[in-house]
Structure 1
C-alpha cells in the first residue's frame, strides 16, 4: 500500500483539538479531497439542471450496499459500482428516450430505492448495517478509502482540465457544440460516470439524505457571489472547502456534539444566506 503518512502528518498540523488522532487526520484529508470535487461538479450540475440526477444516484447507495451484503461483496466496492451503473443507465435513457429527463430519472430513482428497500426488508441485519450510509460518518474513512479518493481526485482534475469549457459550451447549446466538433455524448457519459462516483464517496461522508446538498448549496452560493462562469467555479470551491473544514471543526467540539455531515451542510447554508444578502445589495446598487 502507498505510504500516506506524510499526508496525515500535514493534516495533524491543522490547529484543531484531536488532530493527533489518525481517524481525525483521515477525516480532514477526505473532506479536503471531496469538497473541491463536489463543488466543481455541483456547478456543472446546476448548469445542466441535474440536481435530481445526483439525488437518484445518491439513493442508489441503499441498493448497492444491500446487494453487496447479500452477495458477500464489500459494500465499499458494490456501492460505487452500482451507483456508476445507475448513472450511466440514466444518461443512456435520457439520450434515447422520448420522455422528459426528469421523468426518466424519476423512474430509475423509484426502481433503485424500491430494490434497496426490498432487499433490506428481507434481512434485519442488513437494515442495521445501512444506518451508516443513511446518515454518513466521515470519521470512519479508512486509509484505503483515502487512496481511492486520491485516485478519483486525479481523474477529476484531468477531466476538468479537458472537459470544463466543452461541458459549459454543451450546456449552453448542444447543437452549436456538435457543430464545432465537440463530442457531446462522450463528455456527457464521462461526466455522469464521474458524478456518480463522487456522489457515492460523498455518501460515506454525509449520508444519503444530505449528499445532494453537498453538491447544490455551494454552487447556488457561488452563483450569487460570482459574475462569471470561472468565478462561480472558484467561489463554489471556496464555499465547499471552508464549509467542510469548519463543519468538521465544529462537530467535534464537546459543546456542539453534532453529526459532521449535518454540520458541514449547515455551514454551507450559512454561506448561501450570506450570498443572498450580497446579491441583493449588489442588485440594489445596480438598479
Structure 2
C-alpha cells in the first residue's frame, strides 16, 4: 500500500495545505497564550463562534463567517477588558459571560429544531476547505508573521512584568488588544475546519508540550511549531486511513506528544 496515496485526492491536498498554514499559526500563538495564561480566554473565544453564527442568522447575514469574525473581535476585546481587571473572580466572570453567550447562541440556532445545520462546526471538517478559504488563511498567516516580528518583544516584556513594560513606554493595553484581536481572527478563520470543541486544545497542547522540554525561548517556539505541524500532518493522514474526523485525530496526536514530553521532562529534571 502506498502510504502517500491519500494525497492523490484534491480535497486531501487542499486539507494538507490548510493544515500546513493553520498549525504553525497555532504553534506560534499558543506559546504566548500559555505565557499570558490565556487558556481560559481562548476557550471562551472559541465557544463564542456559535453566538457569532446566531447573530448572523438574526440579522440575515448571508455569510455567517463574517458575523462570527465581527462578534469574536468584540467578544475578545470585552474578555480582554474583563481579564485586565484586578479581580479575584476574573475567571468566574469570564466563564459566566461565555456560558451566557453560548446559551443565547444555542437558543437562537436551535429554534425550530434547526441546530443540525450548524452541528458540523462542533468538530470541524478540514476536508471541505476550498482554495478561496485557503487564501484567507494565507492572508491571516502573513498578518500574524508581521505582527509577531514587530510585536513579540513587546508582548514578551508585558508577560514578564507589565509595570516595567509600561515604564519602557510600551503601550500595554494596545498590545494586549491587538493580540486578542489576532487570536480572535485566527480562531474564527480556523474553527470551521478544527471544530469548536477542540480548537483550544490545538492552541494549547503544542505550546505546553514544548514548554516541558525547552531550555530557552528559541527552543520553546521552535518545538511548539514543530509539534503543531507534526500533529496536523500525522493526524490528517491517520484520519484518512481510519475514517475518523480530522480535528479530533490531530488533537489526539498532540495529546500523545504532550504526555510524552511531560514524562521526558520529569525524567530529565
> What TM-score do you get using the length of structure 1 for normalisation?
0.88
Q: Secondary structure at the match of 1:104?
A: helix
Instruction: Name the CA distance, whole Å, in 2 between partners of 1:117 and 1:204.
Output: 17
Task: Check conservation: 1:94, 1:100, Cα contact below 8 A.
Answer: no
Q: Tell me how far 1:71 sits from its aligned partner.
A: 2.8
Aligned to 1:67: 55
1:248 is matched with: 236
Counterpart-to-counterpart distance in 2, 1:96 and 1:226 = 31
Q: Distance in 2 between matches of 1:112 and 1:23?
A: 34
- What is the match of residue 196 of structure 2? 208
What SS does structure 1 have at the residue aligned with 2:8? coil
Alignment of 1:214-229 (within 5 A): 214-229=202-217
**1:124 equivalenced with 2:110 (yes/no):** no
Structure 2 distance, partners of 1:270, 1:99, is: 34
Q: Which residue of 2 aligns with 1:11?
A: none
* Partner deviation per Cα, 1:162-186 (whole Å, 9 max, x = no partner): 1112111101100000101111111
Which stretch of the first structure deviates more once superposed, 46-55 or 109-118?
109-118
Output one character per residue of 1:179-232: Cα deviation in whole Å (capped at 9) or x when no partner. Answer: 011111111000000011111123112211101100111111000121112211
Q: CA–CA distance in 1 between the matches of 2:85 and 2:208?
A: 30
| Root-mean-square deviation over aligned CA pairs | 1.5
- In the superposition, the TM-score normalised over structure 2's length comes to 0.94
Q: How does 1:67-146 map to 2 (within 5 A)?
A: 67-73=55-61, 74-95=63-84, 98=87, 100-125=89-114, 127-146=115-134
Distance 1:225 1:130 in 2: 39
Could you tell me which residue of structure 2 aligns to residue 171 of structure 1? 159
Matched, 1:268 2:254: yes
Matches of 1:83 and 1:124, distance apart in 2: 25
User: How many residues end up aligned between the 2 structures?
Assistant: 266
How far 1:47 moved relative to its partner?
Answer: 0.6
